[in-house]
Structure 1
């Protein structure tokens, strides 16, 4: 959704959108490598990982380095493969089956490596990227503090330059640092004269120490501890990026980390759905497998539909970023990455909340057994909760989405110049056109009411959710339209069924959000009634029997899981 007022469903947009079906055989082999690594190396060691056997985790990192899983985005001259965000996302999705290890992996391959790639000078890249790409060293990212969580750009950790300008003295504590007990090198953010600055801090530097391992609700196998810095002397050559411009490093790297987390969440969601289907086939009640009960089929279908929308949106964003940064120089790449802050935040919110929904339903399908630790789904349920908190809480990400949307609307033509397309179109296209209209109508109501969005954040939450739903349903239809006609029979039928459900239910949500915003924004009762009546009077396709569509979805994925998972 490059601009909020872009028209949808044209041949050019369908051709440009990237879908999972676009991966070639060689790229599928990379995904298979990651999948087998989790199956053969990580899963058998899960109990040891959960018990903080760091030597096991370190060996897994070295194995991941040996088979190339840590070097996806690293340039060839530094020991990598120079591959793109799409493939990086595909690998992160497969690693998402790896429980706590997937968190350690994502931090290392994401915020633990990308700062050097995008902000490091040549000497820093030569020194650190080969070690990180090979698994010889493990990376970490130190931004959060006890009083600087969501407001992370106001650190207390400080850095003072010595008189001859050769060394910085760092003091402070960084909280909840993933890979803390394992990391060989940290990207640390500290307050300096003129702003926040990013520093490369090696574990062996005098004054660096690690606090006790945190006792967490979930992701127990990933190391989480406090990084303590006491008069740590860091050479001036270890400034990452520009002095006082550390916020550029922090925010741009976080944008990409949010997208990587979205892919990992997709992988875990697929794992939970697979576990739920397997259990549902085995579990018998009233002399029948529970997957034959339509309420269970509805749950499975809802899970599959949510995953289809999530992966459609995430791969679209990755593809768009790849297209934007292709052949760009380093300075231009940073600017172009920042242009996708909304899409990265949107995918993070969407995928983390879908994961929460799916693991909850997977536990429910397991019944009482889902509450028992001997079943994998119990761990997935606990592990999933963090995804709505780290890489920026979903509340912060919703503010990011809505602020960017507000800015784009303000720069676009006024609402009065917008003319909706009333032509008769396919059912799903019509839902998308009507959804786009509601977005504009809702923004008009907010603008007319002169609402201070910074103070009245409920509007921002709902506006962000409208944009998120719109992006997902638009992308899902673009994907299904693009891949239709490829003669894959039942697989194509499944995609259309899921798209039908996404578009209709997505429109219903968007309409509900619009009515809620307008009801709060318009003080005049008569005007409010007029606006709401106008929304409800929109010409939309008659709603379908989604019960039957979901039953068919469930039957297809139960009979042939490979058609979807």
Structure 2
């Protein structure tokens, strides 16, 4: 894939305007990339969907058998180098394939754990011998992988793990003792990535094989959802591994855990995207089939609102996912051109866009929760029945707000990472923030010149919303300084402002680019989607901003900031009802999610 567009930095969207031609959209995927996506979709439809009930009952060998078939099809090897049996394709393609399997309920959980947090640590941090030993089997499906980080006493606080790894007297082995929990694929994995404290305080990764004496498994966990996913505890009792099992460097396990999580977060968003599209299609089909008062319920405005709002949020988060995915790929190519290895380049690119990865993990999982919740409502009583598909979709979606770091952690991380980039001089927030402060004291600009071009007015709105973020974030830094990390509610207010603005801008840019290619008439309902999403975003940013300002300030300062927020979150009234009806009618006519 040729890279010619302007390079941006992570978090820079807050202070920089992006040209529509510089963003990547799903319409830009090549025929080969779309074929890979279709292969994943077909696999889920033909191989996974007919087995959902049996998978949920943990039929022995069933999930592993499906995983082996996926490996044989090449779905595990999308981003693995050819020398290890992979296809060596680019990062946006791996996102596209992840989206393709996303509608498979428990299957994408097993898939993502294997291809992400189990394989990538070996690919990016393993030595040549470890890669040669494990990657071919993990790529073709002969071997299955699992990732052992979480413990009963350490979840989000991963570095607080208690599992110990003590070197033997001769220095040739390590002896591991501890307990890991919530280990996806635990029941059928052959290779475990295990994190332990060497000498009690050096957080380190190890590769541990299933047949190693002392490694044992707990029973399958009983879960609210993703019941078909194998989730077990892993017990390590005097597990003796050779020093060649050390993954990366002693005491550098945090580099593995945190770098892999950046990639995992945006991939989780892609998997959620696949699930949202499936649930939206089920919602449309049912609304067309279900007759009440002698009419299909898809004829009623309340149902049209739900169908349209599902589509609006799906289309918007999709726009943001692939915008960020291409930005990561472009940065990877830039780092490669500077002499970095393939492994260093992708990890460095994902680290650069860690803010966007965290944002998308939050938005992707919450959009899925919204879509399946409204899907249950559209189905009515049948939505609550285990005999209909929304029951499983609803339960399976809930874990995604916890996976890969809770959404609360990711919200706070996003803001923390932006501020750290600013303090290091990697992101110039100070200048734009000061300009906003000066603007607050100035007479408002009542520029009445009529905007021209598609989304000209909307782009001005986006620019003002970014000023609102800078105003609130700047105030928070001034007020709390080094104690800002303790003000979690304010951090989450700022994060929510950034999440909505990034997603709204991504949607506008995607539609603008596609309109330039296809013409505005061809993307008329997509234009409706972009405007509806922005219309909602303005009010949401105002609410988040008010909550933060009300927390941080009082008196004249509060009144000044409130006036500024009102100025920055002002937009013309818009007939969102009719726009949503046009969007819904398009879906109803197609009898599926079509965007």
3-state secondary structure, aligned to 1:544: coil
3-state secondary structure, aligned to 1:209: strand
Aligned counterpart for 1:495 among listed residues 497, 514, 526: 526
CA distance in structure 1 between the aligned counterparts of 2:18 and 2:182, rounded to whole angstroms: 46
Alignment of structure 1 residues 41-440 onto 2, 5 Å: 41-193=47-199, 194-326=201-333, 327=336, 328-329=340-341, 330-410=343-423, 411=425, 412=428, 413-414=430-431, 415-418=433-436, 425=451, 426-440=456-470
CA distance in structure 2 between the aligned counterparts of 1:506 and 1:337, rounded to whole angstroms: 27
How far did residue 417 of structure 1 move?
Answer: 3.6
How far did residue 332 of structure 1 move?
Answer: 4.4
How far did residue 191 of structure 1 move?
Answer: 0.7
How far did residue 427 of structure 1 move?
Answer: 1.9
- CA distance 1:131–1:491, shift in 2 (3 Å): farther
Q: Deviations over 1:164-192 (max 9, x none)?
A: 22111001010010000010001000011
- CA distance 1:249–1:163, shift in 2 (3 Å): same
How far did residue 537 of structure 1 move?
Answer: 3.6
How far did residue 126 of structure 1 move?
Answer: 0.7
Q: Deviations over 1:346-378 (max 9, x none)?
A: 111001011111100000000000000110111
CA distance in structure 1 between the aligned counterparts of 2:398 and 2:569, rounded to whole angstroms: 40
Q: Indicate if the aligned counterparts of 1:428 and 1:504 stay in contact, CA closer than 8 A.
A: no
Q: Indicate if the aligned counterparts of 1:54 and 1:182 stay in contact, CA closer than 8 A.
A: no
TM-score by length of 2: 0.91
How far did residue 534 of structure 1 move?
Answer: 2.9
How far did residue 560 of structure 1 move?
Answer: 2.4
- CA distance 1:167–1:472, shift in 2 (3 Å): same
3-state secondary structure, aligned to 2:238: strand
Q: Deviations over 1:506-527 (max 9, x none)?
A: 122112211221111113x122
CA distance in structure 2 between the aligned counterparts of 1:391 and 1:10, rounded to whole angstroms: 29
Q: Indicate if the aligned counterparts of 1:9 and 1:478 stay in contact, CA closer than 8 A.
A: no
CA distance in structure 1 between the aligned counterparts of 2:490 and 2:118, rounded to whole angstroms: 35
- CA distance 1:52–1:490, shift in 2 (3 Å): farther
Counterpart of 2:547 in structure 1 is 516
Query: What are structure 2's unaligned runs of at least 5 residues?
Result: 1-8
1:478 aligns with 2:509: yes
Q: Deviations over 1:437-486 (max 9, x none)?
A: 10111122213323522211101111111111111011111111111133
CA distance in structure 2 between the aligned counterparts of 1:534 and 1:467, rounded to whole angstroms: 17
Q: Deviations over 1:385-413 (max 9, x none)?
A: 11111111111111111111222444432
Query: What are structure 1's unaligned runs of at least 5 residues?
Result: none
- CA distance 1:360–1:6, shift in 2 (3 Å): closer
CA distance in structure 2 between the aligned counterparts of 1:450 and 1:311, rounded to whole angstroms: 35
C-alpha RMSD of matched pairs (Å): 1.8
- CA distance 1:22–1:332, shift in 2 (3 Å): closer
How far did residue 159 of structure 1 move?
Answer: 0.2
How far did residue 5 of structure 1 move?
Answer: 6.4
Counterpart of 2:576 in structure 1 is 546
How far did residue 249 of structure 1 move?
Answer: 0.2
3-state secondary structure, aligned to 2:516: coil
TM-score by length of 1: 0.96
CA distance in structure 2 between the aligned counterparts of 1:357 and 1:539, rounded to whole angstroms: 24
Q: Indicate if the aligned counterparts of 2:147 and 2:194 stay in contact, CA closer than 8 A.
A: yes
